[in-house]
Amino acid sequence: MGRPLSVYDGGQAALATMHGKEQAFSAILHDILGLSVLVPEMIDTDALGTFTGEVPRKGTMLETVMAKARLGMTAMKLPRGLASEGAYGPHPQLPFVPGGIELVVLVDDVAGIIVHEHLVVDAPVFAHRSVAAISELEDFLTNNYFPSHALIVRPNLPDRVPGIIFKGIGSYCALDEAIAVCAKSSKDGKALVASDMRAHFNPTRMAAIQKAVRRLAVRLLTLCPDCDNPGFGLVDIETGLPCEECGGPSTLPLWEVYGCVKCKHVSRRRASDRASRASAAHCLFCNP
How many domains does the chain divide into?
Answer: 3
- Under 8 Å between Cβ of 34 and 11: yes
Q: Do residues 23 and 87 both lie within one domain? A: yes
Single pTM value for the model: 0.92
- Residue-range definition of the domain harbouring residue 188: 128-195
Range list of H helices, the chain: 22-33, 61-76, 138-143, 172-184, 203-221
Which tens digit of pLDDT belongs to each residue from 52-72? 888 888 899 999 999 999 999
Dist CA 252 CA 288 (whole Å): 14
Average pLDDT over residues 206-226: 98
228 in a structural domain: no
Q: Do residues 206 and 95 both lie within one domain? A: yes
The rounded mean pLDDT for the chain is: 94
Dist CA 68 CA 43 (whole Å): 10
- What is the dihedral angle through the alpha carbons of 94, 96, 97, 99, rounded to the nearest 10 degrees? 60
Q: Do residues 96 and 217 both lie within one domain? A: yes
Question: In CATH, what number is assigned to the domain containing residue 137?
Answer: 3.30.1490
Q: Tell me, what's the pLDDT at 274?
A: 62
Question: Closest Cα partner for 242 from 268, 278, 218?
Answer: 278
Q: Tell me, what's the pLDDT at 153?
A: 98
Which tens digit of pLDDT belongs to each residue from 139-162? 999 999 999 999 999 999 998 877
Q: For residue 96, is pLDDT > 90?
A: no
Higher pLDDT, 212 or 95: 212
Dist CA 13 CA 212 (whole Å): 17
- Under 8 Å between Cβ of 8 and 33: yes
Q: Do residues 79 and 168 both lie within one domain? A: no
Q: For residue 1, is pLDDT > 60?
A: no
Work out whether strand 12-15 and strand 80-90 pair parallel, antiparallel, or are unpaired. parallel
Dist CA 231 CA 35 (whole Å): 15
Q: Do residues 102 and 140 both lie within one domain? A: no
Please state whether the peptide bond connecting residue 162 to the residue before it is cis, i.e. omega within 30 degrees of 0. yes
Which tens digit of pLDDT belongs to each residue from 104-140? 999 999 999 999 999 999 999 999 999 999 999 999 9
Dist CA 263 CA 40 (whole Å): 32
Q: Do residues 112 and 212 both lie within one domain? A: yes
Length of the chain: 288
Q: Do residues 35 and 107 both lie within one domain? A: yes
Q: Do residues 162 and 191 both lie within one domain? A: yes
Phi, psi dihedrals of residue 76, rounded to the nearest 5°: -100, -5
Dist CA 141 CA 134 (whole Å): 10
Q: Do residues 216 and 94 both lie within one domain? A: yes
DSSP 192: E
pLDDT band at 76 (very low <50, low <70, confident <90, very high): very high
Which tens digit of pLDDT belongs to each residue from 177-207? 999 999 999 999 999 999 999 999 999 999 9
227 in a structural domain: no
Q: Do residues 87 and 156 both lie within one domain? A: no
Work out whether strand 113-121 and strand 98-108 pair parallel, antiparallel, or are unpaired. antiparallel
Q: Tell me, what's the pLDDT at 273?
A: 65
Q: Do residues 103 and 47 both lie within one domain? A: yes
Amino acid found at 166: F
Q: For residue 5, is pLDDT > 90?
A: no
**Residue 199: C-alpha distances to residues 15, 63, 84, 191, 280 (Å):** 14, 20, 10, 23, 42
Which tens digit of pLDDT belongs to each residue from 248-269? 999 999 999 999 999 989 999 9
Residues 89, 90, 92: CA angle, nearest 5 degrees: 115
Which tens digit of pLDDT belongs to each residue from 14-52? 999 999 999 999 999 999 999 999 999 989 999 999 988
Q: For residue 2, is pLDDT > 80?
A: no
Question: Closest Cα partner for 218 from 70, 114, 117, 82?
Answer: 117
